[in-house]
Amino acid sequence: MSGYLLVVNVGSTSIKSRLFTTDLQPNAALMADYGTPAGLLVEGQDIHGEPIYHSINTAHNTSAALTVVLNHWQHIITNNHLPLVAIGHRVVHGASWFDKVTPINDAILERLPQLDCYAPLHNPFNRLGITMAAECFPDTAQFAVFDTAFHRRIPEHAGRYALPDHLSDKVDFYRYGFHGISCQHSLLATAERLARDPDQLNIIVLHLGGGASATAIRAGVSIDTSMGFSPTEGLIMAGRCGDLDPMILLTLQKEGLSPAQLDDLINKNSGLRGICGDADMRSILQKAEQHDATALLALDMFCYRIKKYIGAYCAILGNVSALVFTGGIGEHASAIRHRILTGLEPLGFVIDEPANQQAAHNSDISAAASRSRILVIHAEEERVCARQILNFLDDKSDDNPRGE
């Protein structure tokens, strides 16, 4: 099979998209940021390596931003006569229904809206990307890759909440987990780095960005993860509170806060923003260097929560092959990695600080004395989506070698 795959990853404030050849070589990329009232910024590179920079000084919503991005892709693909074999979409929540790459057809399109109640902040945007891409490329097969799929083998004792069954007619409450596509890439990249098979590895993946999660992987299988029914649970994040005593919300509700206000509180105005008034880790680190008390507290709380999860997952896994840092903060904030790892030497994690300071994509920052490797892995969710779609198409081709 030869041709190109376009992968579209739609978020609530940004769109990431990449074009791959069928041998998984990245060929072009576009990223759109529309998270501020200042306007829309689209940047990337075309198939010739030429930079793309497009700024519109008017506010954009998801639909308007997708229109700009997909029009760019239409121009690139049409003008260069590129055979587009598939379009892949990252879909955040697949509940218990979807555990693998899924071809999108009319039946799937009818079912996907039923998942909006599981991830109302994410899935509607993912569906919009599917709908608009189909309008732009009506003759191209589309596929959904679900972020929860990697965690579908979490055992019931780790995945179930201590609640009665059948509390809701619309949803099943369970630890579905997220960042699964990123975790799968970290597992494969770690296996390549350590020259071992994925099913021989026990690793802890820290995906640290605006959203943050910790995942325990045993013998190549996710067995526990910090995010749960929603991406709000677990670690402290940019605007999400992470682990929280549920009585706090009930108390606030009794004091008059509406469900919408509580939703806004725990998903947008808590976490780092709630502690120090700033959700950007780069800015928080700068303020901490100037001895800002609330910034220092935010860093302490952020790293302390992560340390607790590392300790818990070490207890669950026993031997840990590697601790992986990925995501925007995990990859780029050496000071955060240092804070997290300081004091974890008894657990077998010893950092090489010069290597930590100089870490680039896919680096080993562990000292010689470290029992477990400490790796910095560049997150490549779009590549994982492309690989899964290609594997699906190859399997279908093997099942039907004559194309019938």
175-216: per-residue pLDDT in tens? Answer: 999 999 999 999 999 999 999 999 999 999 999 998 999 999
- Measured between alpha carbons, how far is 27 from 47 in angstroms, rounded to an integer? 5
Compute the mean pLDDT over every residue in the chain, rounded to the nearest whole number: 94
Q: Per residue in 254-271, pLDDT tens?
A: 999 999 999 999 999 999
Report the interhelical angle of 281-289 vs 293-317 (nearest 10°): 120
Mean pLDDT value of segment 41-57: 92
pLDDT in tens, 332-359: 999 999 999 999 999 999 999 999 999 8
Give the tokens for residue 163. Answer: 């609640």
Q: Where are the alpha helices (DSSP H) in 59-116?
A: 62-79, 106-111
- As separate numbers, helices (DSSP H) first and strands (DSSP E) second, the chain gives 14, 14
In the chain, domain spans: 4-146, 195-381
pTM of the predicted model as reported, rounded to 2 decimal places: 0.92
Rounded to an integer, what distance in angstroms lies between the CA atom of residue 251 and that of residue 145?
38
Q: What is the pLDDT of residue 400?
A: 52
- Look at residue 31 and tell me whether its pLDDT is greater than 70: yes
Under the banding of pLDDT at 50, 70 and 90, the label for residue 37 is: confident
CA dist 165 and 6 (Å) reads 40
Domain 4-146 and domain 195-381 have a common topology = yes
With beta carbons less than 8 A apart as the criterion, state whether 404 and 38 touch. Answer: no
Q: Is the pLDDT of residue 404 over 60?
A: no
Catalytic residue among 147, 224, 278, 352: 147
At 136, is the pLDDT very low, low, confident or very high (cuts 50, 70, 90)? very high
The share of the chain scoring above pLDDT 90, in percent, equals 87
The correct answer on CATH 3.30.420.40 for the domain covering 195-381 is yes
Kind of pairing, strands 373-376 and 363-364? antiparallel
Helix, strand, coil percentages for the chain (3-state, nearest 5) = 40, 20, 35
User: Which amino acid, one-letter code, is at 124?
Assistant: P
Q: Kindly tell me if the per-residue pLDDT of 19 is higher than 50.
A: yes
pLDDT tens sequence across 274-285: 999 999 999 999
pLDDT at residue 372 in the model: 98
pLDDT value of position 397: 60
Phi, psi (deg, nearest 5) at residue 8: -120, 130
DSSP for 23-35? Answer: T--EEEEEEEEEE
Sheet harboring 212-218: ordered strands across?
221-225, 212-218, 203-208, 322-326, 373-376, 363-364
Mean pLDDT of 367-388: 95
402 pLDDT above the threshold of 50: no
Please give the CATH architecture assigned to the domain spanning 4-146.
2-Layer Sandwich (3.30)
- For 195, the token pair is 């020259």
Work out the angle between the directed axes of helices 334-341 and 293-317 (0-180°, nearest 10). Answer: 60
Active site residue 147: yes
Is pLDDT at 403 greater than 60 in this prediction? no
